[in-house]
Structure formats: structure tokens, C-alpha cells
Amino acid sequence: MPESMIEIENLRKEYGDLVAVGGISFEVRAGTIFGLLGPNGAGKSTTISCISSLIRPTSGEVRIAGHDIRRDSVAARRHLGLVPQELALYEDLSAAENLRYWGAAYGLRGRQLQQRLASVLEAVGLADRAKEPVKRYSGGMKRRLNFACGLVHEPRVLLLDEPTVGVDPQSRVRLLELVRQQAESGTAVLYTTHYMEEAQGLCDRLAIIDHGKIVAEGDLAQLQAMLGEKDLVRLSGRFDPAVVAARMERIDAAEIVQLENDSLVLALPRAGRALPEIFEAAAEAGAEIRETTISRPSLETLFIKLTGRELRE
Amino acid sequence: MSFAWITAIKELKRRMREPATFLLWLAIPLLVCLLLGLATGSRGGKATPPRVHLLIADEDATFLSGMLVGSFSQGALGDFFRVENVDAAEGQRRIERGQASALLVIPRGFGQALIDRRPTRLKLVKNPAQRILPEIAEQTLEILADGAYYLQEIFADPLDMIRRAQARSGADISDRDVASVAISVRHAIGGAGRYLFPPALEVNVTHPASSSSDSGPDRMTSIGLLFLPGMVFMGLFFTSQSLSEEIWLEREHGTLARLAIAPSSLLAVLSGKLIAAFVVLGLLAAGALGGGSLLFDLPAARIPLAAAWSALAGTALVALLLLLQLFAPNARAGSVLTSLIGFPLLMVGGSFFPLDTMPSFLATIGRLTPNGWALTRLMELLRSEAGPVEILPPAAILLASILVLLFVAGRRAQIIAGGA
């Protein structure tokens, strides 16, 4: 089994009464991509900040390549590469100057730095425009350079905090390919996103995080098994929650995931066949239905089932 | 190469990519110097004070009227007056055209009236377009008129003898009369001699402490020394404030957070920023003081050390403002906070108003402010009252202050990077 490069045990971060991360544990092994999937404000970025030593956890343990991030901080950070959400670049410098600086920040000098610089520029497809000031780059190019700055020192652990936010489809494909290449070369990758498709297509293992807690963890197959073969039926309109709940519970194998005055989400197998019965039950409960959608089982439907919320809320 | 030096080089590269900003920083003190130079009439190099252009219409054309005309262009008065002889009508026309400061008309009979000890009237026409120079002409003429009155009193006897001799023999005065007048003059001088040689009143001329130096600075140098250091410090403050605000860009762009998780410490990063600030401020100070030396005739040899001192003081200021920015909740609050602290310090510390022109209690307070203290050292360097050896202890104090501020700023930056 590959070496465990990120080990998180009961990580907790509180800001006064607010619990941003509520005691989560997971590990990421070398050569694998671990996805942290959750909506905005779920605690993904706080987790990344704790792992990278940017903020001090309230409690819990974080080890990077066997080094405790608090007690052996410099050794731990030497193995870390971070690609933050924002474009952490000096826009008045060129791509080469940015990479040289970030490489130097991790102790690279001289020929070694020069070789890494050339290799990374080639990998992200910016070699031909390496001497241009970054401010002249397109958004996608800046994203790629932001990514390259996190890799220039060949980290054994790569933290990617929603690296594809606001990226055009072409650049996104290229970035995801680069992430795969890093994992294939033995790097442990922790990847946070709220894009379900990205997580499904990229990650070897996934954890779904909501309100600072991991609500599900496993590989894709394990997570899909948690959902079973149930489809999600979303009804929007006007409902009396108490009356509708009482009536819907009578439908065979139906599970109420979410119920509010204007929306109802049910999980049930072969939802298409059960639609007439659902409409009949809704009519009996005096509900007014304006829109109906059925979703096949996916991470998104699992997330809704587990949290009662949309992933992008 | 350490990461601090690498950061310093990176920062300097970034500054060089924005030459307009750099020139704007330099423009502040230079512009003020230039305005000051224009206001005081400096044209660069050896500055010369403005001269009174005096037109004189001598209608009397006697020995005594000639003496009056000559007195404006001889001795010390010659430095202040440019005398041109004209006739009265031409003089009047030129004054109306604004081509001179004043016109003095010496009427016919002026010399005889002096001999007869009768009142006489001199006519002075002033150029209304000028204020100070015609005033100088008028006051000088009043002094000369007073002098003539006292000469009349002292030499009353010889003058009476001349008048009587003229009455007796007309223009042909006999040798005997000339000899009598000479003896009478000799007696008059002998009588007044105990007051005149040496003078009973001794005028003791002293220079204010602020403008004294070994070589005795001329007027323009004094003005330069009075205003220029404060202007330089004002420029350094604005530049330092701008440099300290850079930390907000680092926070907003996420580069500070990225640096905070790298193995290199943020202390090294901030050190690099301060090294770069020292170079930038040194160049600005050298530019401003160099410009000032041309305008105010300051000795160029004093500029390098003065610029280095200014740069060190400016770097301490950057460290202080940087720390304030790191404690501010946002960029706008940071700007307000640094201005709130900086502007009163500039006002009291001698940048807006020279310390030497302030009431003594305020000047004492001003010299105790950090910038006032640094400004006083700069003035000492520019006046050659201090050299490399004398400036070492203050420089060590500044360096120690920078290190303390840097250490606290490094700790603070590490804390806020997590929330950036």
C-alpha cells in the first residue's frame, strides 16, 4: 500500500461559537487524488488552511509526509505545494520570474531551479510566453501559471483549493490532466471542489463535507452504493409540509430528503413509474405542483440525500 | 543568496516596471524644491539677490549731487543697486513702462541748498508694479538724506565759510578761503572723531544658530537648509506610505498566504521588502537632495551621506507604517491610520514648517518626534555639523528600531496571512 502522505485526525477549527471544521479525519496516500466535495462554506478551505499551517487548528493532528505540521512545521511545509483559489501571482512580473521566485521560496537555486522552471513551463504550456508580464495573460493562462507555481519545487503533497473556479473549459481539461499527471508521478493530491463532475472524473477517493463535518467517505463505487438505486424527485410549488409529509410516507420505499413550503425532494427507486402515485398523493394533500424533475443516482443526488441541500447552494 | 535578498531583487524589479510611480514619488520633493527655488528667486548655481534698478535724473549736476548719485553704486550699496543716469522725462516714461524699480530726480539747486543749509526736496517715483525693490530704494534714500543732515550739522562751520566766501568772491574762492575751510573741516572731523573712530555704537552682527556654519552659508543655502530637509522627509513619508500599502495587495492577491506556507519565513520576505525600500528611498533622497543642491547651492559632497541617512530613516518609517497596516482591518483603514499618525508627526516634526521657525516649545516637541529627530540629524549632516562618525550612533538606533519593528511585523504577518 502506498505511503500515507496526509494524515488528518480529529481536525477541529472554531472561530468563537462558529465551528468551521468539526473534528474530521482522513488520509491521502502517495499517488492518489483525494477529493473534498462540498458546497461553499462547508469547511473545505479552512481544512486546507489548517493542513498547510496557514491557520492553527483548535485541536487535532495534521501530519505531512510523517511530519507534524505544528511541531515540525518547516520540514512538513517543505513537502507541501499549494494552489490557492485566488491567483496568487505577481502580475507585473513574467511567468518565469514568478516561478523563479516561488521556487526560491522553497529553497531551489541555480541550475536545479532553472531546470524545474523550464520543465514546469513546458508542462503548463506557457514556455513560449514565459517572458511576458502575467498581466497580459488570459484568465486560463493565469490559472495554469498559478498551478505551476504550486508544483515548481516538486512537492510530495499537493493541495488544490478549487483550482478550476472561473476557468474556461479548455483550460479546465488541461488543468485536470496536469493533476492526474502529478498523481501518476507519486504525488498525494488533496483536491477540493464543489463541481461534482470534476470530483467524479478525477478522484480516487472522496469525502463529502458539509457544515465542517464529513458526511460520507469512500471511493466512487462505495459512495454510489450508499445512495443505492434510488432516484431523486424534486417537486416545486406550494406545500403544507405536515400534510404532505404524512401523505408521502405512504408511498412504498419513498424517503423524504427535503420538505419546505415551496419544495419537496423524495428519494425512491424507479421514480418515473411512481410519478402518478406521487402526483395523486400531492393532490390529496392539497399541494400545488409547478415543476417536477427526476435525477439519476450521482454524487450530487447523494449529497442532497445526505445534507438535504444542493451542492451549489 | 538568501531569500531576503531574492525578495529584495523581486521587489526592485516590480518597482522598475512602474517607473511612473517612482517618478511621482520623486516628483513630490522635487516639485516642492522647485517651487521654493522659484519663490526665492534661485536660478541654480551661485544665487544672486535681486537688485534695485534705479534711474537717476541729476538736474543739479554739481559735486554734491554727483556724490549722492555715486553713493548708490559704491561699496555695499553697489550689490543692491543698478544705477542708470537718465533725464527726468525719459525716466518717467520708463517707470510708466515698468522698466525700472524707481526714478530719483535730483532737482537743480540741490548742492547749493546743502551748502546754504536750506531744506531741499528730492523726488522719488516708484514703480507701482513692484513692491519690495522700490521700497528698498526709498528707505536707502531716507538713510542717505538723514546722513546728509548730520553731515550738515557736523560741517556747519566749513559750510558757512564756503557760503561766505562765495558771497564775497563768487565762483573764484581765494587760496586763503580754501585754507580756512580745510582747517575748519579738520576741526570738525577732530570734534566728531571720538564718536566716529571707533564708532560709539558698535553693531554686533550674529547669525541665527540654524544658519551658522564654518564657511558661513549664503542666503540661498540658508533657505535650502531651512526648507529642503523637511521637504525630503515629506516625500519620504508619502513614498513609505505607498510602499507599506503594498502589503494589502499581497494579502488580496493571496501571495502573502502562499509565502506564509513556504519554508522560507515571512521575516525574510519582509526583510527583503525593507531592503528594497532602502534602495528606493535612497535613490529618491539622492535625487531630491541632488536637485536641492543645484537649486540652493548645497555642497555636493554632503549629499551621499545625507541621502543614506534619509534612506535609513525612511526604511524605519516603512517598517513602522507596515506594522500599522498589518494591524488595520482593511486597506482603507490602513491608509487612514497611517495618515492619522503620519500627518501630525510631519507637521510637528518640521516637514510642513521648519523647526527653526516654530515657537521654541513646539520645536522642542518636534525634535523629540521620531521624524523630527531624524530630520535634525539630516540637517546636521547637510551643515557639516556631523559626519560619518557622529552619525553612527543614531544610525545604530535606527537599525535597532527597524529590527524590532520587523520582528513584530513578521509575527503579525504570519497571523494575518491565515485570514488573508
Say what the ipTM of the complex is. Answer: 0.80
The pLDDT value given to residue A312 = 53
Q: Which residue has the higher pLDDT, B293 or A151?
A: A151
A102:B18 CB<8 A? no
Q: Which residue has the higher pLDDT, B120 or A83?
A: A83
Chain B nearest C-alpha distance from A91 (Å) = 9
Q: Is the pTM of this model over 0.80?
A: no
Q: Which three cell numbers stand for residue A80?
A: 507541501
List all residues 6 or more positions away from A172 whose beta carbon is below 8 Å from its beta carbon: A164, A198
Q: How many CB atoms lie within 10 A of CB A40?
A: 11
Check whether A217 has a pLDDT greater than 70.
yes
State how beta strands A18-29 and A4-15 pair.
Answer: antiparallel
Q: Which three cell numbers stand for residue B326?
A: 498589518
The pLDDT value given to residue A214 = 92
| pLDDT tens for chain B, residues 1 to 420 | 799 999 999 999 998 888 787 778 777 767 776 776 666 655 444 445 678 889 999 998 888 888 888 888 777 677 788 889 999 899 999 888 888 889 999 988 888 888 887 888 888 888 887 777 888 888 888 888 887 777 777 777 777 877 777 777 766 677 777 777 778 777 777 776 666 555 554 545 444 444 444 444 455 556 667 778 888 888 889 899 999 999 999 998 889 999 999 998 899 999 999 999 999 999 989 988 888 777 777 778 889 999 999 999 999 999 999 999 999 999 999 999 999 998 899 889 888 888 877 888 888 899 999 999 999 999 889 888 888 899 999 999 999 999 999 999 999 998 888 654
- Residue A72 in contact with partner chain B when CB distance is under 8 A: no
Q: How far apart are CA B182 and CA A38, in angstroms?
A: 119
Q: How far apart are CA A95 and CA A146, in angstroms?
A: 9
Q: Which three cell numbers stand for residue B163?
A: 557760503
B262:A74 CB<8 A? no
The pLDDT value given to residue B223 = 66
B14:A93 CB<8 A? yes
Instruction: List the B123-126 sheet strands across, edge first.
Output: B81-85, B52-58, B102-106, B123-126
Q: Which three cell numbers stand for residue B212?
A: 551658522
Q: Is the dihedral of CA A262, A268, A272, A277 positive or negative?
A: negative
Please give the domain boundaries of chain A with CATH numbers for all domains. 4-223 (3.40.50.300), 229-296 (3.30.70.1150)
Please give the domain boundaries of chain B with CATH numbers for all domains. 3-44+218-417 (no CATH), 52-196 (3.40.1710)
Q: Whose grid coordinates read 425512491?
A: A268
The set of long-range contacts for B303-307, using a CB threshold of 8 Å and a minimum separation of 24, is: B305/B381, B305/B387, B305/B388, B305/B391, B306/B378, B306/B381, B306/B382, B307/B282
Preceding peptide of B229 cis, ω within 30°: no
Q: Which three cell numbers stand for residue A202?
A: 478525477
Closest among A71, A8, A75, A14 to A214, alpha carbons compared = A8
Closest among A204, A202, A234, A201 to A217, alpha carbons compared = A204
Q: What is the mean pLDDT of chain A?
A: 89
Q: Among A80, A85, A90, whose Cβ lies nearest the Cβ of B255?
A: A90
Check whether A313 has a pLDDT greater than 70.
no
Query: B354: part of which helix (H) or strand (E)?
Result: none
Q: What are the C-alpha distances in Å from B24 to residues A78, B19, B32, B238, B239? A: 41, 8, 12, 10, 9
Q: Which three cell numbers stand for residue B178?
A: 580754501
- Residue A86 in contact with partner chain B when CB distance is under 8 A: yes
Number of inter-chain CB pairs under 8 A, A vs B: 70
Chain A contact set for B419 (CB, 8 A): 55
Q: Is the dihedral of CA A20, A24, A27, A32 positive or negative?
A: negative
| A132 phi/psi in degrees, rounded to 5 | -80, 145
Check whether A207 has a pLDDT greater than 90.
yes
The pLDDT value given to residue B4 = 95
B261:A82 CB<8 A? yes
Q: What are the C-alpha distances in Å from A217 to residues A26, A162, A207, B269? A: 9, 19, 4, 39
